[in-house]
Amino acid sequence: MHEARRPAVRTAGVHRGGARRSAAPGRAHTDGGPVRVRPSPGRDRLRDHDVRAVEDRQVLIVGGGPAGAATAIRLARRGRDVLLVERAASWQWRACGVFTSPATVVELQRLGVGGPDLDRIARRLPAMRVETPRGTRFRLTYGADGSLAAASVGLDRSALDPHLLDLARSAGTEIRTGVAVRSVHGERATLSDGRAIRARVIVGADGLRSTVARDAGVVRRPPLGDRPALTFHVAEPPPLAPRDARMVVFDGGYVGLAPVPGGRVNVGIVLADAAWRERLRSDGAAATAAAVMRRIPMAGDDPVPWTAPEPCDAIEGASPVAARVAARSGRDWLLVGDAAGFLDPFTGEGLHRALRSAELAAIAIDRHLDGDVAALAAYDRALTRRTRAKDAVSLLVQAFLGSPPAFEYAARRLASRSEVRETMGRVIGDLAPASTAFDPRFLVALLRP
């Protein structure tokens, strides 16, 4: 495995050029060549400490989840100097999604996740079965499209996230774990270990509560309000046969159930109703999760005893399970993944968006480092173009969920109209343009009596 280089520390007065990395490790470059700092014996000790504490890099990525790792992989493969910092010393379960469509699998393969590694990380799921409080059920499947398999997958994030970091490290990224970014001011980030990093571009890949977005002043209230989410895994009794994922809508929220590798089922609960949120505050996460699981109906192909499942890990929470920002880039920073905005997990495509934003970000950063002063602003516009229609679809779905009679009406028509159901599955799975959902012909086919 390639050993990531450690660049020499440079003083504040040294110009940081846009040159790509030399093949020779361990040497920092500017336009004028390698620079070595020799401390002066007579220099004031405090000032000497401050100079040494500032480290210059081309790119600093804050956050080691899929969005941050994918951005690092793409930039390092372009020969860029990349430092990625991740606050966790080792991987730990956190509130994150695991269900995703075949489109995400294609993105992972493009990054180099394939073959046995993909089989270890992803479990194929024939469909997502949506179930309403009134008992209506329908299966959303994903049609084959060239290289796209027809199955969604449930991901083992404890395997996926470290594997992506390994790919980033092999490409030449320096990765520091157990280090958090405390604040970002301009091109300078202060770390939890007291060091300071000065980077030509700082990438916020630090999730729903992004420090980079906060310090850039772009955080806004999510459009769907303060909806909390709970997530954890339970054991899946053998035999481990192919099973559908399930999205069970109940009065006041919904719960997603996604089988993943290793004989486990991921449980993701979103509490949309104020009464449920008050129950969470008064009774706690464990009691609230148990109350929700008692509302999961038994299914012939689902062997989990939902009245008393066997937990595999602690319950993690996020509130709100959404993020909204006024801008996704600035003069020397940009946001990727959930930090760049996330509406709601019902459609299950946060990971696909994270990987696509990473690709756009890497292209923009590469151009910026080569002197294109408009590249970072162009990233914001490009990501907005890619996500605007899908965000509108997500808001439309949430509008139906917020009106139980309307949701039941639409669900019954999806259950009985296979062509409409297939189109909706492809839109939600990012296999068809999201604008398809607003085509008058589709809306008539969906909503006519």
In this prediction, residue 150 carries a pLDDT of 61
Write the single-letter amino acid at 434: A
In this prediction, residue 18 carries a pLDDT of 56
* Alpha carbon distance 19, 180 (integer Å): 28
In this prediction, residue 27 carries a pLDDT of 35
* Alpha carbon distance 399, 112 (integer Å): 38
* Alpha carbon distance 120, 74 (integer Å): 23
* Alpha carbon distance 426, 322 (integer Å): 23
In this prediction, residue 143 carries a pLDDT of 64
126 Cβ contact list (under 8 Å, min separation 6) = 139, 141, 151, 242, 243, 244
* Alpha carbon distance 279, 270 (integer Å): 13
Whole-Å CA distances, 17 to 20, 26, 149, 353: 9, 17, 44, 31
* Alpha carbon distance 288, 28 (integer Å): 53
- HSE-CB at 140 with a 13 A cutoff on CA atoms is 27
DSSP letters spanning 70-86: HHHHHHHHTT--EEEEE
CATH of domain 54-447: 3.50.50.60
Q: Pairing mode, if any, of strands 253-260 and 196-204?
A: unpaired
In this prediction, residue 75 carries a pLDDT of 99
Q: In what order do the strands lie in the sheet with 99-100?
A: 99-100, 152-155, 122-125
Residue 259 tokens, joined: 């089988």
177 Cβ contact list (under 8 Å, min separation 6) = 64, 85, 86, 88, 89, 90
Whole-Å CA distances, 275 to 70, 269, 288: 39, 15, 11
Each residue's pLDDT, cut to its tens digit, for the chain (449 residues) gives 443 433 333 333 333 445 565 443 333 333 333 333 334 333 333 333 444 568 999 999 999 999 999 999 999 999 999 999 999 998 877 777 799 888 899 999 999 998 899 999 999 998 899 999 999 999 998 865 433 456 789 999 999 999 999 999 999 999 999 999 999 999 999 999 999 999 999 999 999 999 999 999 999 988 777 889 999 999 998 877 888 999 999 999 999 999 999 999 999 999 999 999 999 999 999 999 999 999 999 887 788 888 889 889 899 888 878 889 999 999 999 999 999 998 877 876 789 999 999 999 999 999 999 999 999 999 999 999 999 999 999 889 989 999 999 999 999 999 999 999 999 999 988 889 999 999 999 999 999 99
Sorted by where each begins, the domain ranges of the chain are 54-447
Tokens 């910092």, located at residue: 85
* Alpha carbon distance 270, 248 (integer Å): 11
* Alpha carbon distance 202, 212 (integer Å): 8
Record the pTM.
0.86
